[in-house]
Amino acid sequence: MLNFAVMKKFVLILSVLLAGAGSVFAQKSKNHNFEINRNLEIFSDIYRQLDMYYVDTLDADTVIGWAIQSMLRQVDPFTVYYSEDNMDELKTMTTGKYAGIGAVVRFIKKEDRVAIDEPYEGTPAYKAGVKAGDVILTIDGVDIKGMPVDKVTTMLKGTPGSSFVLEVRRYGVEKPLTFKIVRENIQLPSVPYYGMLPGNVGYIVLTGFTDNCSKDVRRALVSLKEQGARSLVLDLRGNGGGLLSEAVEIVNFFVPKGKKVVYTKGKVQSANVEYTTRKEPLDTVMPMAVLVDRWSASASEIVSGSLQDFDRALIVGTRTYGKGLVQTPREVPYNGSLKVTTSRYYIPSGRCIQAYDYRHLNEDGSVGTVPDSLTRVFHTAAGREVRDGGGITPDVTITSNDTLPSMVVELAVNDVVAEFGNWYVAQHDTIAPAASFDVADEDYAQFVKMVKESGFTYNKRGRELLKLLTKTAETEGYTEEAREALNQLDTIFKGNLEADMERNKKEVKLLLNDEIVRRYYYQKGGIELRIREDKDLKKACSLLADEKAYKEKLNIKD
């Protein structure tokens, strides 16, 4: 029997998604409005008939949910519908807050269970004594064996102040451990690290543009200046963006009041907004570099692009993602929300850095990008050439040849690294400071032994290609002629584990160092360890140390 309440809910939601709650998506063409109404009526009738006549009972939320998601895939990947059940996800994305225990979890295949991967310092999990590597047995008496990560995560979250009992198995401890944990509002750190580097260089890592993150950046900047910082590196690598308003606040720390940082243009008048700096800055002269990579997007590109357009900072790294679209949350019926792309943004030089054209796909269905030959030239305040249409191109591009061998990449996602972490912690009560820690050779030998005993295999892609090549040789009748060559390739792709572990020892130890340091010093320690081998950061610092070269690159006149 047709559930008319569910039907009404769907029609209302779909009407908002397609018709856009009245004037937002209003079209001048009467024919366009007719097409909307006609297609909504057809869809509604098809679902009604499926519900009445289809041989099996349909689940309305599932079927119509698929329809909504399929529709949204036709626009861009940033326009997303959040049902009432998923509103926490949107809240966490924009505010960086959620109610839970404050720990990252991962699935351990051998255990068929979820384990604690990393508790955040100062959170309920940390205060209760939960450790990385603890395998979860039960949550409030419910056995979680076989449960996927998302379901376990939902069970760990809850109302602030509510409590539950967590039972875990810890390596080297005979009996299970139980912890009573009180859930709290967790604020994910937007600035997990800041500190002083050699040469009086201040260093700030910003991981996301969540609500009030600018206050964290401000505190870090003030503290670094008090410690004697004479130049600054702002690290936006891997920062996928967030709130536009927070990006403007951060730019305002470094440029004068009254400067237009970004403006947006959309279909309706309300989407056309100018954002200017409204406060007196903290520092407009300190030499500054901004680190970016291909995962720096959206608000990260507003900050880096604006500082580039104002000639206020050197941008160092690789070209950014190229997301010049702005999303606005809009309410939909039944307590849901639609995060919809409402405008494009333009930074001070007038350029839009959107790289992908989601409305005009390539013939193979892939998303088209603006070729470099079709990008337009704009100019910074000092007259330097910059371009639109493809992210922020750094002032100093760093090309890396540090391609990791497949063995190291596959080890990074293998459970044996976490198992080694469990073993190591059981053997060592303390370790050296994060910045100087290095796994000893004898401990590395133990890891090699554990890898061999785990049955770890690698070069998976190579072996898959070899199978395809072998099959092709059989199909084309070249089996005998190709046999010797195929056997040689088979030997190569099987690899020699001990030899490869020795050959790639430096890279593997970096992986192990990170695993161990985070067990003792948490997220901050992991960053302190990374700084030691960070070539991009070292390059930025060397640029800041050379005053003449710095001014020449920014076209600064004395």
Q: What is the pLDDT of residue 399?
A: 82
Q: What is the pLDDT of residue 458?
A: 82
Tell me what pLDDT residue 488 has: 81
Name, in order, each residue with C-beta under 8 angstroms of 556's C-beta and a sequence gap of 6 or more: 311, 382, 550
Of 165-169, 295-299, 366-370, the poorest mean pLDDT is in: 366-370
Of the listed ranges 113-117, 191-195, 477-481, the least confidently predicted one is: 477-481
Range in 95-104, 147-156, 250-259, 497-506 the model is least confident about: 95-104
Q: What letter would DSSP give residue 403?
A: P
Does the pLDDT value for residue 469 go beyond 50? yes
Closest by CA position to 48, among listed 28, 64, 33: 64
Provide the strand spans (E) within 41-187: 80-82, 97-100, 103-108, 113-119, 135-139, 142-143, 163-169, 177-182, 184-187
Question: Do 549 and 453 form a contact (C-beta atoms < 8 A)?
Answer: no
Task: Determine the average pLDDT of the residues in 420-446.
Answer: 96
Query: What is the average pLDDT value for the chain, to the nearest integer?
Result: 90
Mean pLDDT (whole number) for 422-431: 96
Counting residues of the chain whose pLDDT is more than 90, the rounded percentage is 72
Q: Is the pLDDT at 24 greater than 50, yes or no?
A: no
* Residues 151, 159: Cα–Cα separation, whole Å: 16
H helix and E strand count, the chain: 18, 23
On the question of pLDDT at 19 being above 70, the answer is no
Which pLDDT belongs to residue 91?
79
Band (143; pLDDT cuts 50, 70, 90): very high
Q: Is the pLDDT of residue 498 over 80?
A: yes
pLDDT at 404: 79
| Spatial separation of the C-alpha atoms in residues 450 and 256, rounded to whole Å | 58
Residue of 216, 293, 309, 514 marked catalytic? 309
pLDDT for 28 equals 53
What token pair was written down for 517?
Answer: 């340091």
Distances (CA, A) of 460 to 242, 406, 495, 511: 36, 8, 11, 20
Are the CB atoms for 321 and 265 separated by under 8 Å? no
CB-count exposure of residue 522 (10 Å: 0-12, 13-18, 19+): buried
Tallying the residues shown for the chain, one arrives at: 558
Q: What is the pLDDT of residues 47-71, one digit of tens each?
A: 999 999 999 999 988 899 899 999 9
CA 19 to chain centre: 32
CATH 3.90.226.10 fits 193-330+341-399, yes or no: yes
**pLDDT at residue 4 in the model:** 47
Q: What's the confidence (pLDDT) of residue 9?
A: 52
- Give pLDDT tens digits for 506-557: 999 999 999 999 999 999 999 999 999 999 999 999 999 999 999 999 998 8
Q: Helices 30-53 and 4-19, interaxial angle, to 10°?
A: 150
Check if 15 is active-site: no
Written as one letter, the residue type at 479 is: T
Mean pLDDT for 486-493 is 77
Q: Is pLDDT of 216 > 80?
A: yes
pLDDT of residue 359: 77
143 carries an active-site annotation: no
The 10 Å CB-count burial string (b at 16+, else e) for 221-237 is beebeeeebebbbbbbb
Where along the chain do its domains lie?
4-74, 97-187, 193-330+341-399, 406-458+495-537
Q: Do 97-187 and 193-330+341-399 have matching folds?
A: no
pLDDT higher than 50, residue 214:
yes
pLDDT at 93: 75
**Which range among 96-100, 251-255, 525-529 shows the weakest confidence by mean pLDDT?**
96-100
Q: Average pLDDT in the 212-219 region?
A: 97
Over residues 433-451, the mean pLDDT reads 96
**Average of per-residue pLDDT across 212-222:** 97
pLDDT for position 182: 96
> One-letter amino acid identity for 385?
E
Please state the rounded mean pLDDT for residues 205-214.
Answer: 95
Our answer to whether residue 117 is catalytic in this structure is no
Q: What is the pLDDT of residue 374?
A: 80
- Do strands 260-266 and 336-346 pair parallel, antiparallel, or not at all (unpaired)? antiparallel
Query: What is the tens place of the pLDDT at every residue in 305-359?
Result: 999 999 999 999 999 999 999 999 999 999 999 999 999 999 999 999 999 888 7
What is residue 224's predicted lDDT score, i.e. its pLDDT?
98
Nearest to 308 by CA among 233, 377, 385, 241: 385
Amino acid (1-letter code) at residue 49: Q
**What's residue 174's pLDDT?**
93
Segment 209-234 shows an average pLDDT of 97
The predicted structure's pLDDT at residue 429: 95
In this prediction, residue 402 has a pLDDT band, given cuts at 50, 70 and 90, of low
Q: Out of 296, 298, 300, 343, which one is annotated catalytic?
A: 298
114 pLDDT exceeds 90? yes
Q: Is the pLDDT of residue 484 over 90?
A: no
Q: For position 25, what pLDDT does the model report?
A: 46
Q: If you classify domain 97-187 with CATH, what class do you get?
A: mainly beta
